[in-house]
């Protein structure tokens, strides 16, 4: 599996397995299947309410800890310097781990400054090998970087063929932040799997539409974490390293850009308020 070097020297697989929206009762089996298929990056979050199942799957796999890259995230209700430290410890306990490879601030709202101070301390003492953010737009990312000591290693944001985030990636490159995609298949929206451009390119390479979309992200040096509960799909999603998209194909995909999210608009005040009120048993 190809890896990317983060800004602190930690190496991260460029393709991993995400567990967002996988029910807790299905998560252990799904993660066990993903690890068996060859995934070594596993991405979860306190807000997904399936960290315990991820931890059980890791323990059952028998894979040495240093061969895995485990990410989880801090939810809004636990933002603030002291509460973030407590939330981190709870996540470690649920996962059954002694350290995390990557710890992310899940949303760019609330007291994420206090949370970042706690995460900087966790990074310095080695309990979080790398720290980063999720869903930060360029202005908030630049603000966080400007006023803090440690530059986020990763920014995990919605990125797919319809919402390509090229300006975001340009800023991340400027500051040395690794771009990571969530929702790489647009959650199946906007006619994703039947899009004629993607279908045509997929036929040319004897690949699936999903494989074309994942290859497009990997070819842009973007870390990607597709989700599936079907072992055959897990294997398919890993098989994107034996072909390359041409310049013409990349240009055709670039024309699919809509410049907006049809999944979640972080600039919508009503949705910002809603997110701030969501509570999980963390």
Q: Tens digit of pLDDT for each residue in 175-187?
A: 999 999 999 999 9
Tokens of 212: 């074309």
**pLDDT, the chain, mean:** 96
Q: Is the pLDDT of residue 282 over 70?
A: no
Tokens of 23: 């029910």
Read off the pLDDT of residues 154-176 as tens digits, 9 standing for 90 and up.
999 999 999 999 999 999 999 99
The Cα–Cα gap between 35 and 234 comes to 10
Give the helix/strand (H/E) hosting 72: strand 69-74
189 in any annotated domain: yes
The Cα–Cα gap between 38 and 44 comes to 17
β-sheet bridge partners, residue 163: 160
Q: What is the pLDDT of residue 280?
A: 87
Average of per-residue pLDDT across 8-14: 98
Read off the pLDDT of residues 192-242 as tens digits, 9 standing for 90 and up.
999 999 999 999 999 999 999 999 999 999 999 999 999 999 999 999 999
Longest alpha-carbon distance in the chain: 54
Average of per-residue pLDDT across 46-50: 95
Can you give the residue range of the structural domain that contains 131?
3-277
183 in any annotated domain: yes
33, 61 in Cβ contact below 8 A?
no
What residue has token string 């949303």? 107
30, 52 in Cβ contact below 8 A?
no
How are beta strands 223-224 and 102-105 bridged, if at all?
unpaired
Give the helix/strand (H/E) hosting 154: strand 154-158
Phi first, then psi, for residue 3 (nearest 5°) are -125, 160
Q: What percent of the chain has pLDDT over 90?
A: 96
140 in any annotated domain: yes
pTM of the predicted model as reported, rounded to 2 decimal places: 0.96
Read off the pLDDT of residues 64-107 as tens digits, 9 standing for 90 and up.
999 999 999 999 999 999 999 999 999 999 999 999 999 999 99
User: Is residue 48 annotated as a catalytic residue, yes or no?
Assistant: yes
Length of the chain, please? 282
72 Cβ contact list (under 8 Å, min separation 6)? 43, 44, 45, 46, 51, 91, 95, 100, 103, 104
22, 227 in Cβ contact below 8 A?
yes
The Cα–Cα gap between 59 and 78 comes to 27
Nearest to 239 by CA among 207, 267, 202: 207
47 in any annotated domain: yes
Domain count, the chain: 1
282 in any annotated domain: no
Residue tagged active-site, from 48, 79, 103, 112: 48
What CATH number is associated with residue 190?
3.20.20.100
């Amino acid at each position: 599996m190809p890896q990317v070097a983060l800004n602190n020297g930690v190496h991260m697989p460029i393709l991993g397995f995400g567990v967002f929206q996988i029910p807790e009762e299905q998560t252990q089996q799904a993660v066990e299947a993903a690890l068996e298929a060859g995934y070594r990056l596993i991405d979860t979050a306190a807000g997904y309410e399936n960290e315990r199942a991820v931890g059980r799957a890791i323990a059952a796999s028998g894979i040495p800890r240093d061969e895995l890259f485990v990410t989880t995230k801090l939810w809004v209700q636990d933002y603030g310097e002291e509460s973030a430290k407590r939330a981190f410890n709870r996540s470690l306990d649920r996962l059954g781990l002694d350290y995390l490879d990557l710890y992310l601030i899940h949303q760019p709202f609330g007291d994420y400054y206090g949370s970042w101070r706690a995460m900087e301390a966790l990074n310095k003492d080695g309990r979080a090998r790398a720290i980063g953010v999720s869903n930060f737009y360029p202005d908030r990312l630049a603000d966080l970087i400007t006023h803090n000591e440690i530059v986020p290693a990763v920014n995990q944001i919605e990125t797919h063929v319809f919402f390509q985030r090229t300006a975001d990636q340009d800023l991340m490159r400027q500051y040395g932040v690794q771009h990571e995609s969530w929702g790489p298949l647009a959650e199946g929206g906007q006619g994703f799997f039947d899009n004629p451009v993607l279908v045509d390119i997929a036929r040319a390479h004897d690949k699936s539409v999903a494989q074309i979309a994942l290859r497009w992200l990997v070819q842009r040096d973007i870390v990607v974490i597709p989700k599936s509960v079907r072992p055959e799909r897990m294997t398919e999603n890993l098989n994107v390293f034996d072909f390359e998209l041409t310049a013409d194909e990349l240009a055709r995909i670039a024309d699919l850009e809509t410049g907006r999210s049809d999944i979640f608009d972080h600039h919508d005040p009503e949705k910002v308020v809603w997110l701030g009120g969501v509570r999980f048993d963390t």
